[in-house]
Amino acid sequence: MDLKYFISKNQLSVIRSNCKGEEGGYFKAIIEDLEAKISTMPKTYETDVQGDDAIATLHYFLGSSDWYIVERDQEEDQFQAFGFTCLNGDRQNAEFGYINIEELIQSGVELDLYYKPETIGTIKARFRI
């Protein structure tokens, strides 16, 4: 799985650089975990009937905005995903929809390296939606 479609060049560069350091094994495990998560993510429309039981596999953040990715493109290149978004902490207008990951990355978001996949129901409960 090519992580360049899911993580900024800068963030990926820092992780790869840290693979060469004293804690290299730890950072290599982070890369392997991300690759495994992404390669097994549901493709577009595979979670349609799951509702709140659908699993968000990835979490991006920037300031008080959050993007939770549930499905990814079926194509080799990654352009679009489906998930749940809460912009600027505005819980009232948080919504599901298609998310352009390339645009997110260009906007300076960070991929949460420590995010553990969870159900959409759990996320909505945390946001009290």
Q: What is the pLDDT of residues 74-114, one digit of tens each?
A: 666 667 899 999 999 998 899 999 999 999 999 999 999 99
Tokens of 21: 């350091």
CA distance linking residue 8 with residue 109, whole number of Å:
8
Determine the pLDDT at residue 1.
64
pLDDT band of 7, cuts 50, 70, 90: very high
Q: Is the pLDDT of residue 44 over 90?
A: no
Q: Is the pLDDT of residue 129 over 80?
A: no
CA distance linking residue 9 with residue 110, whole number of Å:
11
Contact 66, 108 (CB under 8 A): no
Q: Is the pLDDT of residue 26 over 90?
A: yes
Mean confidence (pLDDT) of the chain: 91
Q: Is the pLDDT of residue 66 over 80?
A: yes
Determine the pLDDT at residue 80.
84
Determine the pLDDT at residue 76.
63
Contact 94, 84 (CB under 8 A): yes
